[in-house]
Amino acid sequence: MSLTDAPLAALAAQLADKTVSSRELTQHFLDRIAALNPTINAFVTVDPGKSLAEAAAADAARAAGTAGPLTGVPIAHKDIFCTDGWRTTCGSKMLANFVAPYDAHVIQQFKAAGLPSLGKTNMDEFAMGSSNETSFFGPVKNPWDTTRVPGGSSGGAAACIAARMAPAATGTDTGGSIRQPAAFAGITGLKPTYGLVSRYGMIAFASSLDQAGPMARSAEDCALLLNVMTGFDTRDSTSLEREKEDYVRDLDKPLAGLRIGLPKEFFAEGLNADVAAAVEAAVAELKKLGATPVEVSLANAGLAIPVYYVLAPAEASSNLSRFDGVRYGYRAPEYADLNDMYAKTRAQGFGAEVKRRILIGAYVLSHGYYDAYYLQAQKIRRLIAHDFAEAFKVCDVILGPTAPGTAFKLGEKSDDPVEMYLNDLYTIPANLAGLPGMSLPCGFDSRGLPIGLQLVGNYFSEAKMLNVAHQYQRATDWHVRRPEGLS
């Protein structure tokens, strides 16, 4: 198998037996980025000098016998993670020239494991979007059809993996921002249990919902990446203090006896017919592997989008108050006084979607509306989590579509925010409950666009979800297919 298409374990094996060096491997993907990024726009920042220096250090570690399992395998990082010495923009004009002075915990983990960075991937501004069209650096194109979106907000990460510009990438998921682009780009992406991966150095959108996770071509690759990413971090008050797990350990377990919950609310009106057929075919495949489908109900799942678009903007309005032109980031060039500087800096530095969410957040937190909106949303959030708890009494994992449809045309939903928000209909409930979820490819629609299958597990059941996904991927080949026309 070529370096371009090899899974992480195969790349690591080639590095271990010295078939290839990390410098050669990293240069291979840098060459693909140079050739394809002008079309796809998946990367915001690439620094070959830094990448190759990290690769040389990985080669030295292998020569010295101090290498870890993935040392020398290059990876891309979503441009939301502060990375020492690298431009870290969050897809915004506000941070277009910001060079981070320290590493996020996730970046530290990958550096310690010896994985060179290929660069920083494009994203919706401050992770606010479902199409990667809100980025200050322009939209990312879907490698399967460059007239279509790759999903968001981790669209750059998803597109660079689908186009084979990187073997894997980091992403973040606040309401589906790993899983939905994974579905649109035909790759595998996992959002861990809230608190399992530290948020330190990850530029905040909605702190009670944000979670970092791995994006790659297969469940096995995601398991290997999750082994690196997780770990307790004293600098993040929501980081969970628990023993590290080996997420590869259960990949080969048979699925006999597994109970798969099928929420009737996820197969109702609004679901694209091609998506429904592909998901039903995936259920049939899992039945062949020994799993048993069980109907469950998530009665309050339909309220997830209105709840999310009260809570997430409320937290965003607070988190983004720090971008005021005083300490770092963009500052308006002309202003009359301090208040005028604040107003002009934020008006010029933020894009339309970010401004919309800041305004909504400030409104729902304001005196007279807090009880009516914010408090009510928190109560419904608890009901959604309770629905999941009841469902997991009769099933081991919950299965459904990742998104109601497949990748839509660039600009198609830009003028209708509500239509755009509905793309996250099936992914948001897991974030509100803090549960792990993942998306994996399960077919193509009539236009040849990838379809995503979503798995949601109980708290800390990542290994079980990865087992289900891996067994499904051993029986199918959707995850190894790649867009035509990319050499």
- Note the pLDDT of residue 367: 85
Beta-carbon count within 10 A of 250 CB: 17
DSSP label of 407: P
- Cα–Cα distance for residue pair 160/141, rounded to 1 Å: 10
Residue ranges of E strands in 181-228 = 188-191, 212-216
- Note the pLDDT of residue 185: 98
Mean pLDDT of the region 318-347: 96
The mean of the pLDDT values for the chain is 96
What is the tens place of the pLDDT at every residue in 27-57?
999 999 999 999 999 999 999 999 999 999 9
161: amino acid identity, one letter: I
What is the tens place of the pLDDT at every residue in 94-146?
999 999 999 999 999 999 999 999 999 999 999 999 999 999 999 999 999 99
Q: Domain ranges in the chain? A: 8-258+437-443+455-480
More confident residue, 473 or 268: 473
Q: What are phi and psi of 389, to 5 degrees?
A: -60, -40
Does residue 383 have a pLDDT over 80? yes
Confidence of residue 487 (pLDDT cuts 50, 70, 90): low
Does residue 1 have a pLDDT over 70? no
Structure token digits, residue 128 = 């606010």
Confidence of residue 239 (pLDDT cuts 50, 70, 90): very high
Chain length of the chain: 487
DSSP label of 400: E
Q: What are phi and psi of 384, to 5 degrees?
A: -65, -45
CA 15, chain centre distance (Å): 27
- Cα–Cα distance for residue pair 111/342, rounded to 1 Å: 37
Please check whether residue 150 is in contact with residue 142, taking contact to mean a CB–CB distance below 8 angstroms. Answer: yes
- Closest by CA to 400, choosing from 371, 438, 431, is 438
Supply the DSSP string of 320-340, one letter for each residue: GGG-SSSSSS---S--SSHHH
Mean pLDDT of the region 308-336: 96
Mean pLDDT of the region 310-327: 95
Beta-carbon count within 10 A of 254 CB: 11
CA 128, chain centre distance (Å): 12
Give whole-number Cα distances, 408 to 132, 411, 414, in Å: 12, 9, 11
Catalytic residue numbers, as ranges: 78, 153, 177
Beta-carbon count within 10 A of 319 CB: 18
Confidence of residue 287 (pLDDT cuts 50, 70, 90): very high
- Note the pLDDT of residue 132: 96
Does residue 173 have a pLDDT over 70? yes
Confidence of residue 445 (pLDDT cuts 50, 70, 90): very high
CATH (residue range 8-258+437-443+455-480)? 3.90.1300.10
Confidence of residue 484 (pLDDT cuts 50, 70, 90): confident
Three-class SS state of 103: coil
Please check whether residue 427 is in contact with residue 176, taking contact to mean a CB–CB distance below 8 angstroms. Answer: yes
- Note the pLDDT of residue 414: 86
Please check whether residue 348 is in contact with residue 332, taking contact to mean a CB–CB distance below 8 angstroms. Answer: yes
Does residue 17 have a pLDDT over 80? yes
What is the tens place of the pLDDT at every residue in 249-268?
999 999 999 999 999 999 98
Dihedral angle over CA of 214, 181, 308, 356, nearest 10: 120
**% residues pLDDT > 90 (the chain):** 95
